[in-house]
Amino acid sequence: MFKSFVQKKLEGFVRQYFRKHPEVKLVVVAGSVGKTSTKGAIATVLAERFRVRLHEGNHNSELSAPLAILGVEYPDNIKSVGQWLKVFRAAKERIAEPTDVDVIIQEIGTEHVGEIPHFGTYLLPDIAVITAISPEHMAYFQVMDAVAQEELAAANFSKTALINRDDIEGEYAKYLTNPQVNTYGTSGNAEYHFVDSDFSIETGHKGNFVAPEWDVPVEATIKVLGEHNLRPAIAAGAVGVKLGMTAAEVAAGLGKVHSVSGRMNVLRGAENTMIIDDSYNSNPLSAISALKSLYSLSVPQRIAVLGSMNDLGPISQAEHMALGTFCDPAQLAWVVTVGEEAEKYVAPAAKARGCQVKSFRSALEAGAFVNGIKESGAAILFKGSQGDIYLEEAIKIVLHSTDEESQLVRQSAAWLQRKAAFFSSLQ
């Protein structure tokens, strides 16, 4: 009852804010994967012209999203009436004072049916960006059509929408009711796309950003690894164009886009190795995409450390087996799995393909093993989920320097304590 009261109050404050400040644009980012990277890329590009507000964390739920939109801190104790009263006062002050932003970028997430549509009861975004439709929280959604309906709801309650053509199947277009929809992606079939002409680890992807509003593409360099990591930047460029930015401003912003911690972030490993840190989370789409990026690198040795993919519910076995089948012995020296589902289904499927496989319960054990079998100049992919996998702790063992541990995810005191307890329970 108390939570419901707080939620209604916060949603009311958001409505008041946009009534008081109609000049402020709202961009929402929804989708099964890639929301945080896309949100960050949009903020980077838009900052070339606009004052931007976004929350760096994953404040995308029913209580945290309204506060992130308003730029008000989330309370430490959500059960404290006193702390919520302070939040309410801060929200009222934010509404009353002159606005300090031109554009608000807000990630919105879901774990159950109906959560994304609910955002539409109090938000009218100027632009919605839908990053992907792929398996998520399948214990609740059960089937992919339910996921598609949930995520695409954000496009339907927004003034206009940008849809990732590469990672959203065309069959789901039947769930779109908003006629103001454009597509973005790395293929030429998308209205907003990037023509990649050159790539190196040092400089990133060089090419041309294409927008239907422009007669001539603009040259740009995007410093990320992997084709799928270009898509957040392309979405950002598209949002910039729709908000009236010039070609020069968009190109400058694209040149400043970079990988987010734990999401295909390249780190220096010991013995001149390259670490691809994709440890934040994992699902079938992002895991396959990460392997494709690993395969594209010209290096003497490739190692894939693959953690169990959580929240897949009834499709877990099939999706883990599909990931194992995608492991190519011609491309990988080792496949290292972490977690029960990965050991049960990824490992045997990879072995059946002819891969050399080793399985561990703990990320710490996996990190020690990889540290022992890596060769100079190797590229090592760490792809894992948050709950009970924590591959960022395996990365620490292989890093060139402890100074780079600050770039890893989940390094707060609370997270380190939680992980220490988990690893102790495995002994």
Same domain, 281 and 307: yes
Is position 260 within any domain? Answer: no
pTM of the model: 0.94
pLDDT tier for residue 178 given thresholds of 50, 70 and 90? very high
Would you say 41 and 52 are in contact if contact means Cβ atoms under 8 Å apart? no
- Residue 179 backbone phi and psi in degrees, to 5: -75, -15
87 lies in which domain range?
Answer: 2-254
pLDDT for the residue numbered 61: 84
pLDDT for the residue numbered 77: 85
d(CA 63, CA 47): 26
Q: Which of 201, 231, 254 is the last residue of a domain?
A: 254
Is position 259 within any domain? Answer: no
Would you say 119 and 14 are in contact if contact means Cβ atoms under 8 Å apart? no
57 or 140, greater pLDDT: 140
Same domain, 298 and 271: yes
Is position 367 within any domain? Answer: yes
Q: What is the mean pLDDT of residues 323-348?
A: 98
Task: Please say if the pLDDT value at position 202 is more than 90.
Answer: no
Same domain, 28 and 73: yes
Domain count, the chain: 2
What does the pLDDT look like over 62-97, one tens digit per residue? Answer: 889 999 999 999 998 888 889 999 999 999 999 999
What does the pLDDT look like over 242-284, one tens digit per residue? Answer: 999 999 999 999 999 999 999 999 999 999 999 999 999 999 9
Same domain, 199 and 300: no
pLDDT for the residue numbered 226: 87
pLDDT for the residue numbered 427: 79
Is position 389 within any domain? Answer: yes
Same domain, 164 and 222: yes
Residues contacting 58, CB < 8 A, separation 6+: 36, 107, 109
Q: What are 132's strand-pairing partners?
A: none
d(CA 180, CA 329): 45
Same domain, 367 and 250: no
Is position 292 within any domain? Answer: yes
pLDDT tier for residue 115 given thresholds of 50, 70 and 90? very high
pLDDT for the residue numbered 62: 87
Is position 45 within any domain? Answer: yes
Same domain, 198 and 243: yes
Residues contacting 202, CB < 8 A, separation 6+: none
Same domain, 250 and 275: no
Q: Which of 254, 283, 315 is the last residue of a domain?
A: 254
Q: Which of 254, 284, 300 is the last residue of a domain?
A: 254
What the block records as the tokens of 254 is 């694209």
139 or 29, greater pLDDT: 29
Identify which of 253, 235, 19, 10 has the alpha carbon closest to the alpha carbon of residue 127: 235
Q: What is the mean pLDDT of residues 404-416?
A: 94
Q: What is the mean pLDDT of residues 355-370?
A: 98
Share of the chain above pLDDT 70, in %: 100
Q: Which CATH number goes with the domain that contains 334?
A: 3.90.190.20
Q: What is the mean pLDDT of residues 186-192?
A: 95
Same domain, 154 and 13: yes
> Mean pLDDT of all residues in the chain?
95
What does the pLDDT look like over 206-251, one tens digit per residue? Answer: 999 999 999 999 999 999 998 899 999 999 999 999 999 999 999 9
Same domain, 247 and 324: no
Same domain, 269 and 350: yes
Tokens 């927004």 sit on residue: 158
Task: Please say if the pLDDT value at position 2 is more than 90.
Answer: no
Q: Which CATH number goes with the domain that contains 209?
A: 3.40.1190.10
d(CA 315, CA 147): 13
